[in-house]
Every structure is written in structure tokens, then in C-alpha cells.
């Protein structure tokens, strides 16, 4: 504890050890996330704080799982753990601070993404998820609120509070966030860990490209009924490739659902990307001398203590300082040099939690798997100048209300439901139709909106999609002005389901 940074137990802590708290940047039911300053290096970090005396044993267990997962994962698209500070009354996880906020806010402000924009983020998400699954870890709470964006709009998967080791066994805990949770969990069945992450990945992709939830609902009964009808509305403004991928991801039967391996080879995912960045795990034992020099010369650390801390992965202040300095250096240098070692085709590339209803509200996760950095992604405001697809900020609709903290353990917030238009059948058992609350004020449909239910005429294949695609994109563009983001004022808590 640095002198002068001690805080009495009575006063609100404004610092802990070598970190000075600045403000709260996230609040869940079990934990707060604070922006803090790492005093020795002057670097901003995120500190997830859990007050032990306010938590049940299961939530302490939840955090223990999060620590285990974060220690096991080192990936550019997964938020990095720097230090674990375990005191009498608090457990603090010091992590990298991701400056761009989360994908929920991005969608709320800018509306749904074009498929090109969504593809880059989806690729990174797949890469991060593959990294988790390769290490036996399933996330179990994938949603826009848990996907952060950095300054270059690269994604950082966060919140491993519901993650767990699956190790080839079936899981039984009923957990997740209602609108993103897989059908097998909704049905209280034993489930395969990776398959439930793939379902949530499908819901996230749907939300990214439409701004709507495929299966909105205020309670588990409504969502379950909608999911189990095996119908999801796949808007015509989406390309055939995107709709096909969504069908594969949102397949109710887990054994028929796409696996990550299928996704890695999916045509939509592979469209036109190059510059694969091989993901390199930080070799903990061959230290970077430029970093250790700063630690010894400028910060007064003992050289002989740095390597043992890194090699043993102690996640103590020594390791944290090394990782923080290393991440600053990498930020200044940019992502690692491209080694085009794999072509697109050969491909690269976390119990007992309450299920909180999320009717479209903020709903307060290798081997050298290539990783994508999309430096060409620009901040939306920059796009206006550069002539890329202009993204008008989505206008607020009557239903839009300011965010409020959610009482439920998984504050749920997600973009709005889209009006039901026509169903599409897919023959794969994947769900085919979305239902929407009345009064949603925009029509995101193709020019042939109002088609009777039934097979939606396939839009011309290929990214261009011809006139239908252009019309669809026009509608998509217009719909950005009326993109609805439901308020997140109330969350229906569902019975807490204890792990079986």
C-alpha cells in the first residue's frame, strides 16, 4: 500500500494498493467496474471490484471462476487481466481499460452495422471464442454489453463471471441472459458448453446487423415459446450469405447447430478478408528487456524478482506492471506484423446466475489462431469525412429511455425488436420468424414488405445482391433513423436456478 493511499474502512475507498480510482464505468449486481490510474506508470486500467461481505458464496464462486478464466486466456480480443488483489473485504481484478465502451452503446448510438462492419467484429469474436473453447472455457454470457470496443473498434470480450470449464462434459447450470440464452438452457436440459456460446454468437450477430433481438421477451415463457417455434425473421436486406450463417447459428437443435469449426469456414465470415494477424500469446518467460529496464531503472523493481513473478503467473503488482508497460508499448507499436501464414479458407482464427429478462434492454469469452485487427475500421464520426457509409446516429424513439442500473445480476440491455414482416423457412430446423411488439415505428423490410408468410423470396446471392440488396440497404439506411432501442428501465428477474 502506497503511503497516503490507505483508506479507512469507513470512508469510500478512493484507491487500493498502487491504483487510484477515478470513476465507476460499469455496474453489475455482483460487482462494479472502476476506471483507475496505475500510479507507477500513469496508465488507466479497469478495476472490477467485488465486496465480499455483500455477496453470497455462489457469487464469490462466480468471481473465482472469472479469475480462473481470465488467467487462462491471453488473446488480443479478450480483455487482459493484469493483477488480482484479494483483501479481507474485497476482491479486485485489475484489467486493461478498453476506451470505446461496449457494443450495446455503439449500436444504440449508431444503429445496426453494415455487414462489412459486422464481419470484422464477428471475426474477432469468433477468434476470441475459439481461444476460450480451445482452453476448455465456455463464456455463457455473450451479449453486446460484454463486448467492448477499443479506439480502433477492435472488440474485447469481457465479463467471464458466468464462464466455466466444460472439459468435454455436459453442463447443467441454468445461466445467462434471457434473450441470448440457448434453447437447451431455456428447456432446463443438460447442454454442451460450446454450443450455447454459438447460439449466443448468433443472437449477437443478428443484433449487430439488424439492431433487433431475434427472440425478444419479458419472461422466459415468452422467449422460450418464440425460440421453440423454430422461426426467426431474417430481413431481406441481409445478404443470402448472412442469412444462411444466422440460420446455422440459430438452429434450435444443438447437435445440428453450426460449430465454431463450421463458422471458421463459413462463406460470409470469409468474404474478402486478408491481413490475418497471427495471435501470439505473451511468452511469459522470455521477458522484453526494454520493459524490464524501465521497471528496474525508473520504477525501482528488483530485476531478479520480475521473471519469477511472470513465470509463476502470480498476477501480483510486479506482473501487472510488466503487462501494463508491455501493453502500452504494443499500443504504440500497433498490432504485430502480418504473417500471412494462413489463407481465409484454412482459417484462423465460461452458474446459477439469474436469468434476467431482456426485452431489448441493456442486459445489465490458440494455437496461433490468426486474429484480425481492423485498422481500417474508423470511428463512426470519422466515417462521415472519409466518405465511407455514413452512419446517422439512430434517432431516439418514444420507447428509448436512458439507461438505468439493472437490479438483476446480469443487467440486460439490447437493441430493439423489429416489426414482424414475413417468415422464411429454411428447412434446417433453424428458427424462422421474429415477433415484435406492436407500435414499433419502422419498417425494415424489403420493398416487397407485407409478403404473406412463407418462404421469403431469396435475395439475389452474393454481396451485391442486385436491386433487392440495394433496396434492402436503402431500407436499412432509413431504418437507422428509426432504430429502436428499448428502454432498459425494468428487468424481470427469473427464479434463480441452482446448478442441478
| 25/282 with CB nearer ligand 24R | 25
CB of 66 to ligand 24R, least distance (A): 8
| 181/246 with CB nearer ligand 24R | 181
> Grid coordinates standing for 398?
418514444
Give the footprint of ligand 24R on this chain (CB under 6 A).
Answer: 25-28, 31, 33, 46, 48, 79, 95, 97-99, 101, 145-146, 148, 158-159, 364
| 101/136 with CB nearer ligand 24R | 101
CB of 48 to ligand 24R, least distance (A): 5
CB–CB of 47/21 below 8 Å?
yes
CB–CB of 235/421 below 8 Å?
yes
Give dist(CA 168, CA 181) in Å, integer. Answer: 20
Give the Å distances, CA to CA, from 398 to 402, 420, 441, 487, 488: 11, 19, 9, 9, 13
Give dist(CA 91, CA 489) in Å, integer. Answer: 29
Nearest residue to 299 (alpha-carbon basis) of 328, 324, 321: 321
CB of 116 to ligand 24R, least distance (A): 24
CB of 70 to ligand 24R, least distance (A): 9
CB of 271 to ligand 24R, least distance (A): 30
Give dist(CA 321, CA 81) in Å, integer. Answer: 11
Q: Which of 105, 141, 266, 377 is catalytic?
A: 141
> Grid coordinates standing for 77?
480480443
CB of 34 to ligand 24R, least distance (A): 9
Give the Å distances, CA to CA, from 306 to 42, 75, 328: 20, 22, 18
Nearest residue to 30 (alpha-carbon basis) of 10, 53, 14: 53
CB of 156 to ligand 24R, least distance (A): 7
Give the Å distances, CA to CA, from 343 to 126, 289, 369, 461, 462: 16, 33, 12, 23, 20
Whether 86 is catalytic is: no
CB–CB of 33/48 below 8 Å?
yes
Give dist(CA 285, CA 283) in Å, integer. Answer: 6
> Grid coordinates standing for 348?
484462423
Neighbouring CB atoms inside 10 A of 169's CB total: 11
Give dist(CA 473, CA 210) in Å, integer. Answer: 11
In this structure, what is the dihedral angle of CA atoms 218, 221, 225, 226, given to the nearest 10 degrees? 10
255 burial via Cβ count (<10 Å: 0-12, 13-18, 19+): exposed
| 162/287 with CB nearer ligand 24R | 162
CB of 360 to ligand 24R, least distance (A): 17
CB of 303 to ligand 24R, least distance (A): 30
Identify each DSSP E strand in 264-316 by its residue range: 277-278
| 31/294 with CB nearer ligand 24R | 31
| 141/266 with CB nearer ligand 24R | 141
| 277/364 with CB nearer ligand 24R | 364
| 49/245 with CB nearer ligand 24R | 49
CB–CB of 177/355 below 8 Å?
yes
CB–CB of 173/500 below 8 Å?
yes
Give dist(CA 125, CA 77) in Å, integer. Answer: 7
Q: What angle do CA 388, 394, 395 make, to 5 degrees?
A: 140
| 59/479 with CB nearer ligand 24R | 59
Q: List residues with catalytic annotation.
A: 141
Amino acid at each position: 500500500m502506497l503511503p497516503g493511499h490507505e483508506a479507512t474502512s469507513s470512508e469510500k475507498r478512493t484507491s487500493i494498493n498502487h491504483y487510484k480510482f477515478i470513476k465507476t464505468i460499469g455496474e453489475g449486481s455482483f460487482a462494479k467496474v472502476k476506471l483507475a490510474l496505475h500510479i507507477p506508470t500513469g496508465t488507466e486500467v479497469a478495476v472490477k471490484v467485488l465486496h465480499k461481505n455483500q455477496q453470497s458464496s455462489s457469487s464469490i464462486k462466480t468471481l473465482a471462476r472469472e479469475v480462473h478464466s481470465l488467467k487462462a486466456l491471453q488473446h488480443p480480443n479478450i480483455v487482459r487481466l493484469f493483477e488480482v488483489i484479494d483483501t479481507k473485504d474485497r476482491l479486485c481484478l485489475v484489467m486493461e481499460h478498453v476506451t470505446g465502451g461496449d457494443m450495446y452503446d455503439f449500436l444504440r448510438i449508431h444503429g445496426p452495422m453494415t455487414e462489412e462492419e459486422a464481419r470484422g467484429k464477428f471475426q474477432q469474436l469468433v477468434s476470441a471464442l475459439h481461444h476460450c473453447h480451445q482452453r476448455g472455457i465456455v463464456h455463457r454470457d455473450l451479449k453486446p454489453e460484454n463486448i467492448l470496443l477499443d479506439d480502433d473498434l477492435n472488440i474485447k470480450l469481457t465479463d467471464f463471471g458466468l464462464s466455466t470449464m466444460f472439459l468435454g462434459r455436459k453442463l447443467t447450470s441454468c445461466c445467462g441472459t434471457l434473450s441470448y440464452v440457448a434453447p437447451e438452457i431455456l428447456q432446463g436440459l443438460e447442454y454442451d458448453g460450446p454450443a450455447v456460446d454459438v447460439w449466443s454468437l448468433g443472437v449477437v450477430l443478428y443484433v449487430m446487423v439488424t439492431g433487433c433481438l431475434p427472440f425478444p421477451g419479458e419472461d422466459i415463457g415468452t422467449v422460450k415459446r418464440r425460440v421453440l417455434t423454430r422461426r426467426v425473421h431474417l430481413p431481406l436486406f441481409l445478404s443470402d450469405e448472412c442469412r444462411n450463417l444466422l440460420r446455422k447459428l440459430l438452429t434450435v437443435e444443438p447437435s445440428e447447430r453450426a460449430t465454431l469449426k463450421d463458422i471458421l469456414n463459413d462463406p460470409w465470415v470469409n468474404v474478402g478478408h486478408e491481413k490475418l494477424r497471427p495471435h501470439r500469446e505473451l511468452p511469459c518467460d522470455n521477458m522484453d528487456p526494454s520493459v524490464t529496464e524501465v521497471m528496474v531503472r525508473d520504477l525501482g523493481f528488483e530485476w531478479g524478482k520480475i521473471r519469477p513473478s511472470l513465470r509463476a503467473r502470480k498476477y501480483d503488482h510486479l506482473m501487472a506492471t510488466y503487462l501494463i508497460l508491455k501493453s502500452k508499448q504494443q499500443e504504440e507499436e500497433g498490432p504485430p506484423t502480418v504473417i500471412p501464414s494462413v489463407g481465409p479458407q484454412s482459417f484462423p482464427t465460461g452458474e446459477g446466475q439469474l436469468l434476467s429478462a431482456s426485452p431489448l434492454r441493456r442486459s445489465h469469452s490458440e494455437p496461433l489462431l490468426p486474429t484480425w485487427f481492423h485498422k481500417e475500421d474508423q470511428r463512426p464520426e470519422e466515417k462521415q469525412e472519409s466518405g465511407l457509409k455514413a452512419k446517422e446516429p439512430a434517432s431516439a424513439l418514444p420507447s428509448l429511455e436512458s439507461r438505468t442500473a439493472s437490479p438483476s445480476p446480469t443487467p440486460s440491455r439490447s437493441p430493439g425488436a423489429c416489426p414482424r414482416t414475413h417468415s422464411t423457412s429454411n428447412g434446417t430446423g433453424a428458427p424462422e420468424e421474429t415477433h415484435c411488439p406492436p407500435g414499433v415505428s419502422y419498417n425494415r423490410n424489403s420493398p416487397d414488405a407485407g409478403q404473406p408468410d412463407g418462404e421469403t423470396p431469396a435475395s439475389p446471392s452474393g454481396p451485391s445482391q442486385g436491386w433487392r440488396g440495394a433496396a434492402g440497404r436503402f431500407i436499412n439506411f432509413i431504418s437507422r433513423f428509426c432504430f429502436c432501442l428499448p428502454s432498459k428501465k425494468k428487468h424481470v428477474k427469473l427464479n434463480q436456478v441452482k446448478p442441478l
